[in-house]
A and B are shown apart, each in its own frame.
Chain A
């Protein structure tokens, strides 16, 4: 959702949109009271549609400035699948023969209600526990990895991380198709469109993971 009051310039536009809408409602009501009501309701629907982002053009692709250091920077975005064997095997293959710097970001998945009421301690604690478990496994495999908790929106978490960690490559780990909310939301495709960094998608089936 795009907040129409996120800055002064956006609020300035809202003033004129309100003025235009009020004139339309007044004209409609002047012809017929119920027409005025209908115009008002139609404008409310249009406003909600616009706030939800339906009319916004796709944002320009974000350019990631690489530092060109000796280590290959790999950014991993994963949640429940962060401890998955497929992800760890992929990271192991990518790290073979090169010096690697892996940052694992676990979005603190939360319900909309909890997000709006800032009740995210539980979500962050759960994400931290998964992250700790995954990091210890990666380190056991000899992979230099560190981790952090990210925004509940995986794309936002990815963008936040890329600002401080200009990765050479991004790995997005999800559940298999049909069980993954992220795949349903098109997170992988949107990540490829939004960031000019190679994005690798790895599927982790937790049902087939060996017990640890």
Chain B
């Protein structure tokens, strides 16, 4: 048995070191908590939606109340656009993991174009939907939910634009691409929320 005893650790000056678990890195945890708070925000809007539509004693028997109609087909096309954008951002992320910069840039540009197309289509849909917020609670809920989602698409596009600028400047590598991974998670969250909004508001 050796008869020596080692010091417990190195001398450390200044404030104590932050404790970090290896389960999740801080940036991803931050985005996860942000998404959790966003999910609660959407939850509040869905609560209002289901109250107006189902629980409310004065809820209309048909949805939306006559004579209004939701543009199910146009919104369906928009859903396809957003789901496709999930493929392209996934392609961009997988590309940089293989050090394929062209794939990264192409994936990001396509995702931004698809996200912009979604927002433009939504604006056109608003312009031709045939009702406004003053036409009843159902209209307020419709614009509230879809508008809230549209705002999130805009935020996602802003994050992706920053990532794209960095990608074209030569940032990111196979080992270091957090600036893309984190907006990618957010973009998928925005996509998930739209799928729920589309099926809850337009289809059911």
Q: Of B2, B22, B23, which contacts A100 at CB under 8 A?
A: B2
Question: Roughly how many angstroms separate A147 CA and B2 CA in the complex, as a whole number?
Answer: 17
With A15-B86, A96-B1: A151-B23 Cβ-Cβ less than 8 Å: yes
With A12-B188, A15-B192: A29-B204 Cβ-Cβ less than 8 Å: yes
Question: What number of B residues sit within 8 Å (CB to CB) of A?
Answer: 38
Question: Roughly how many angstroms separate A160 CA and B19 CA in the complex, as a whole number?
Answer: 13
A9 touches B86 (CB 8 A): no
Which of A19-27, A183-191, A193-201 lies on the face that meets chain B?
A: A19-27
B1 touches A95 (CB 8 A): yes
CB neighbours (8 Å) of A143 from chain B are: 1, 5
B28 touches A7 (CB 8 A): yes
Question: Roughly how many angstroms separate A124 CA and B20 CA in the complex, as a whole number?
Answer: 12
A8 touches B196 (CB 8 A): no
How far, in Å, is A25 (CB) from chain B's closest CB? 7
Q: Is A166 an interface residue (CB 8 A)?
A: no
CB neighbours (8 Å) of B189 from chain A are: 5, 11
- Chain B, 1-28, contact with A by CB distance < 8 Å: what is the 0/1 string? 1111111110000000001011110001
Question: What number of A residues sit within 8 Å (CB to CB) of B?
Answer: 45
CB neighbours (8 Å) of B196 from chain A are: 18, 22
How far, in Å, is B75 (CB) from chain A's closest CB? 13
Main secondary structure, interface of B, reads helix
| Interchain Cβ contacts within 8 Å, total number | 107
B185 touches A156 (CB 8 A): no
CB neighbours (8 Å) of A96 from chain B are: 1
B6 touches A146 (CB 8 A): yes
B8 touches A22 (CB 8 A): no
Question: Roughly how many angstroms separate A26 CA and B203 CA in the complex, as a whole number?
Answer: 7
Determine the residue in chain B with the shortest Cβ distance to A1.
B23
Question: Roughly how many angstroms separate A18 CA and B204 CA in the complex, as a whole number?
Answer: 15
Question: Roughly how many angstroms separate A9 CA and B28 CA in the complex, as a whole number?
Answer: 13
Q: Is B152 an interface residue (CB 8 A)?
A: no
Determine the residue in chain B with the shortest Cβ distance to A121.
B19
Q: Is A142 an interface residue (CB 8 A)?
A: yes
Q: Is B199 an interface residue (CB 8 A)?
A: yes
